[in-house]
Amino acid sequence: MKFGKGLGLGIYTVLALLFLLIPIAYTFVFSFNDAGKLNIAWQGFTFDKWLTVCSTAGLCEAFGNSILVGLVSTVLATALGTLIAIALVRYRFRARSSISLLLFLPMATPEVVLGAGLAAQFLTLGTEKGLLTIILAHTMFCISFVVVTVKARVASLDPALEEAGRDLYGSPGQVFWRITFPLLMPGIAAAALLSFALSFDDFIITNFNSGSVDTFPKFIYIAAARGIPAQVNVIASAVFLLAIVLVIVVQVSRAARAKRLARQLG
């Protein structure tokens, strides 16, 4: 019975992984397709799409806009979200519970409602839609995810470590930058990566608040009506490969640090 259960779980796991990886594999394979505007049927193998990735009008500009919006909104959301998380965990003040509850609303609200509400707000204020409105919308959307992620890290810190720093005559600033901040860095880094991924991938909120500015997801959606060019697959494949490389580098570095620490302790 145990063997049967283990075999069934293994088969289910393999099928689930295949289901998740098939779209990625399709994107990567068809980035080498020698196709024209309609990159649907396989026409032959070529490297030309990788060498002429910016030949499609507006593609690289849209990708650059997504990178810019993702980086700026990530920096803003991570900085503000980290400060809010520290305040919610470390300090007691009026409406603290209400603020904690309200921070979950952007996560629970459907994106179409959130995007339409922000668009109406910008219209009321007379703000012209463009990169600025996209960045503001993404920052507001990502702050909640940053707060939830960093808040868990702040709550797990041992207060004795900071007390030890103060006992050694460290100023509040020194204690924060030399003890608290390094301990928070794993949570902050995770929140920043999540924020960037959400911003880079977002279409619905962006579509409501972008005006005439194109981002990478918006470009793909518009291009789908007339046929997505293979160059889109090239950029998507490059982003995926870059993410894999970053994960491998982080894991290898972490393993190397663990080995060095084990040798020092041994």
Tell me, yes or no, whether 185 and 67 share the same domain: yes
- One-character DSSP codes across 130-171: SHHHHHHHHHHHHHHHHHHHHHHHHHTS-HHHHHHHHHTT--
Of 159, 173, 168, which Cα lies nearest the Cα of 90?
Answer: 159
Contact 217, 206 (CB under 8 A): yes
pLDDT at 205 (0 to 100) = 93
Give the range of the structural domain holding residue 148, as residue numbers without chain letter.
Answer: 58-228
The three-point CA angle 243-245-250 to 5° equals 95
Q: Quick one: tokens of 31? A: 């980035």
Q: How far apart are CA 35 and CA 43, in angstroms?
A: 6
Tell me, yes or no, whether 137 and 70 share the same domain: yes
Tell me, yes or no, whether 52 and 62 share the same domain: no
Q: Residues 47-83: pLDDT tens digits?
A: 888 888 888 888 899 999 999 999 999 999 999 999 9
pTM of the model: 0.84
pLDDT at 4 (0 to 100) = 59
Tell me, yes or no, whether 91 and 155 share the same domain: yes
Of 218, 220, 191, 207, which Cα lies nearest the Cα of 114?
Answer: 207
How does residue 215 score in pLDDT terms, banded at 50, 70 and 90?
A: very high
Phi, psi of 112 (to 5 degrees): -65, -35
Tell me, yes or no, whether 16 and 26 share the same domain: yes
Of 143, 19, 125, 25, which Cα lies nearest the Cα of 78?
Answer: 143
Q: Residues 159-210: pLDDT tens digits?
A: 788 888 777 777 888 888 888 888 889 889 999 999 999 999 899 999 999 9
Tell me, yes or no, whether 81 and 46 share the same domain: no
Out of 58-67, 86-95, 185-194, 211-220, least confident range: 86-95
Q: Where are the alpha helices (DSSP H) in 30-110?
A: 48-51, 59-90, 96-102, 105-108
Q: Residues 239-252: pLDDT tens digits?
A: 889 888 988 988 88
Tell me, yes or no, whether 209 and 249 share the same domain: no
**Is the pLDDT at 3 greater than 80, yes or no?**
no
Q: Quick one: tokens of 121? A: 């707000």
Domain at 93, CATH number: 1.10.3720.10
Q: Quick one: tokens of 45? A: 């193998």
Tell me, yes or no, whether 240 and 199 share the same domain: no
Cα end-to-end span (Å), the chain: 43
Phi, psi of 80 (to 5 degrees): -65, -45
pLDDT at 38 (0 to 100) = 74
Tell me, yes or no, whether 96 and 148 share the same domain: yes
Tell me, yes or no, whether 194 and 88 share the same domain: yes
Residues 6+ apart with CB under 8 A from 229: 37, 39, 49, 56, 59, 223
pLDDT at 196 (0 to 100) = 93
Tell me, yes or no, whether 260 and 151 share the same domain: no
Tell me, yes or no, whether 149 and 163 share the same domain: yes
Q: Quote the percentage of the chain above a pLDDT of 90.
A: 30
162: left (phi over 0), alpha (psi -120 to 50) or beta: alpha
User: To 10 degrees, what angle do helices 59-90 and 230-265 make?
Assistant: 40
* Chain center to CA of 35: 31
Please tell me the total count of domains within the chain: 2
